[in-house]
Amino acid sequence: MADETSDPQATKLTNTKRKWAAEGRFLTGRISRPETDRLPPGQHLVKNWPVLDLGQQPQISELQWRLDVRGAVENTLTLDWAGFLSLPQSQSLSDIHCVTTWSRYDNRWQGVMVRDLLDLVHPTPEANAVMLTSFDGYTTNLLLSDFAAADALLATHWEGEPISREHGGPMRLVVPHLYFWKSAKWLTRIEFIREDRPGFWEKNGYHLRGDPWAEQRYSDD
């Protein structure tokens, strides 16, 4: 084994990742599920893609667009549209599970993996959760371990096309392993916080975490 301190590849970044791995920092305890168990309890499949939001669908030009990343991080970051597009681009295929009981399989997303953003900002050891804020005033909270899921994506494209305004374009979050209300459309601010606290729907009766496999729909579940 190479001595990690003398390894020229051992950048600050890889050291941070090793530390996270050693701490088991982003482990969710989830296991992969067989295809026969793909639909979470109480869900039904749809082929279309319903639109759900607070009713206000902000129109954000590329000129106005900003993403602020702040709070418990080593490097705060403000990205404009060009800066965001210059981050590593990835693709992922995932299912949508909405708390209103529809699910939609095999959505092809393209954008920036949340993990690539985390590598840039380096959450501090105090960061346990994120509060997300969108251009329409919507907020939602996620544990850092959920936000940092391997398939969580800051998505700009769906099925090869720019995400439409009604579905949260030009950029929305996609966190496939939680109910879709956690996947903020028109995302503009990510704040890393020490203690998890409720966002909009979570204050209005929805579950703080929202795991569809555990049917965490409402807060009194």
Under the rule (CB under 6 A), what is the footprint of ligand MTE? 49-54, 98, 134, 136, 138, 167-168, 180-181, 183-186
Interface stretch with Mo ion, choices 40-48, 75-83, 152-160, 174-182 (CB under 5 A): 174-182
Shortest distance, CB of residue 118 to ligand MTE, whole angstroms? Answer: 21
Interface stretch with Mo ion, choices 6-14, 68-76, 114-122, 173-181 (CB under 5 A): 173-181
Binding residues for Mo ion, how many (CB under 5 A)?
A: 4
Does 181 participate in binding Mo ion (rule CB under 5 A)? yes
Which residues in the chain belong to E strands, given as ranges?
Answer: 44-45, 66-71, 77-80, 90-97, 102-113, 129-134, 139-143, 153-158, 161-162, 172-174, 187-193
Give the torsion sign (CA, 178, 182, 187, 188).
negative
Shortest distance, CB of residue 68 to Mo ion, whole angstroms? Answer: 24
Shortest distance, CB of residue 171 to Mo ion, whole angstroms? Answer: 19
Measure the CA–CA gap between 24 and 13, rounded to whole angstroms. Answer: 16
Shortest distance, CB of residue 191 to Mo ion, whole angstroms? Answer: 22
- Both tokens of residue 204? 């209005």
What part of residues 74-113 is at the interface with Mo ion (CB under 5 A)? 98-99
Measure the CA–CA gap between 73 and 192, rounded to whole angstroms. Answer: 7
**What are the CA-CA distances from residue 180 to residues 75, 117, 170 (Å)?**
28, 21, 17
| Residues at the site binding Mo ion, with contacts judged by CB under 5 A | 52, 98-99, 181
